[in-house]
């Protein structure tokens, strides 16, 4: 293992301290707890809180989207490991402004279990919560079993919609409803070219041959749909888009937002070459290309398609400012 770190057991703490050093005007630690990050921006009393949680190792997810117009708080665990329920409960309390908190997180066992406990705990403080699960990865389960799907890069769109809805002073039921509507129109799929190394493990999470590519690989190294011989950028784009649109058909006139997301080890040039083909296939409203939800240094990328109506379009375009996401609405 060759990584630019101090020690494997301080990886998360050092990362959090780096975020505060760099972006302390936007975010802060909750009570100096390096596992809980909250927004440093003022918020209206009565605004619904929007929070998430999950394992480290995916920057900018989850920490990079805490700020204005997106998340109010985020709790993180060790690399690829859920934070404790007590950390989540502390975060929920800190982000409640009297009208409840939306807990918006990926469909992973540890996160589900711990958020359930956290929400039960804050009920004793008379804090109302609602949980919305992110399940956008079409490769992780069939359409008939979509409730089992994993949450991947599409969560960035979900954070944006929920944050904008909360800033518009929608109530908790309304924020949850519009975020659920958004997620019903978000699909993602990825490919992996190489594994990553979790610092404490010190070895690759999986093995793949130099001339192979794994279709549908998860962001923690979960098995994909199949392993193929290496494909061209156009073939990758066509495979991902065609699989997504088969699951979520698009008709003439549909507006979409497209995200091409690098997994940590893929140059921006390669992402742009893939987007070139995606652009030829789809009409689109806007595009996001870069690293939005990574897996340490894994080489590969994902494509996310977000089908819009007028309400979702306006919420997506609403202003936001966080360490890793800025939308000036210009």
Query: 3-state secondary structure string, the chain?
Result: CCCCCCCHHHHHHHHHHHHHHHHCCCEEEECCEEEEEEECCCCCCCCCEEEEEEEECCCCCCHHHECECCECEEEEEEECCCCCHHHHHHHHHHHCCCCCEEEEEECCHHHHHHHHHHHHHHHCCCCCEEEEEECCEHHHCCHHHHHHCCCCCCHHHHHHHHHHHHHCCCCHHHHHHHHHHHHCCEEEEEEECCCCECCCCCCECCCCCCCEEEECCCCCCCCCCEEEECCCHHHHHHHHHHHHHHHCCCCCCCEEEEEEEECECCCHHHHHHHHHHHHHHCCCCEEEEECCCCCCCECEEEEEEEEECHHHHHHHHCCEEECCEEECCC
Catalytic hit among 31, 58, 145, 279 = 58
Active site residue 58: yes
Tokens, residue 166:
């909360």
Query: Which member of 31, 145, 220, 279 is catalytic?
Result: 220
Q: What's the CA gap between 119 and 4, in Å, rounded? A: 37
**Residue keyed to tokens 């058909």:** 249
Q: Decide if 220 is catalytic.
A: yes
Strand partners, 148: none
Terminal alpha carbon distance of the chain: 44
Q: Which residues does the annotation mark as catalytic? A: 58, 220
């Amino acid at each position: 293992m060759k990584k630019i770190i101090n020690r494997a057991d301080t990886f998360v703490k050092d990362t959090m301290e780096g975020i505060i050093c760099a972006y302390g005007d936007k975010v802060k630690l909750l009570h100096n707890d390096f596992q809980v990050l909250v927004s440093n921006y003022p918020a209206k009393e009565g605004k619904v809180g929007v929070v998430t949680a999950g394992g480290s190792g995916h920057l900018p997810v989850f920490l990079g989207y805490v700020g204005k117009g997106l998340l109010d708080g985020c709790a993180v665990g060790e690399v690829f490991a859920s934070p404790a329920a007590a950390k989540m409960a502390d975060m929920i309390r800190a982000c409640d402004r009297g009208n409840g908190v939306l807990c918006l997180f990926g469909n992973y066992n540890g996160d589900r279990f711990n958020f359930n406990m956290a929400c039960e705990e804050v009920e004793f403080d008379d804090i109302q919560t609602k949980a919305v699960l992110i399940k956008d990865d079409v490769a992780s389960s069939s359409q008939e079993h979509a409730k089992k799907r994993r949450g991947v890069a599409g969560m960035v769109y979900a954070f944006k919609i929920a944050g904008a809805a909360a800033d518009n002073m929608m109530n908790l039921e309304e924020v949850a409803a519009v975020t659920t509507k958004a997620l019903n129109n978000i699909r993602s799929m990825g490919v992996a070219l190489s594994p990553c190394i979790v610092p404490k493990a010190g070895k690759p999470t999986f093995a793949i041959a130099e001339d192979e590519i794994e279709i549908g690989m998860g962001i923690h190294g979960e098995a994909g749909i199949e392993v193929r011989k290496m494909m061209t950028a156009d073939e990758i784009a066509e495979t991902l888009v065609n699989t997504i649109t088969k699951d979520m058909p698009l008709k003439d006139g549909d507006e979409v937002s497209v995200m091409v997301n690098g997994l940590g080890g893929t140059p921006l040039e390669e992402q742009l070459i893939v987007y070139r083909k995606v652009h030829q296939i789809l009409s689109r409203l806007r595009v996001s290309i870069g690293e939005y939800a990574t897996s340490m240094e894994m080489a590969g990328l994902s494509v996310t398609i977000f089908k819009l109506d007028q309400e979702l379009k306006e919420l997506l375009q609403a202003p936001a400012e966080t360490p890793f996401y800025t939308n000036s609405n210009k």
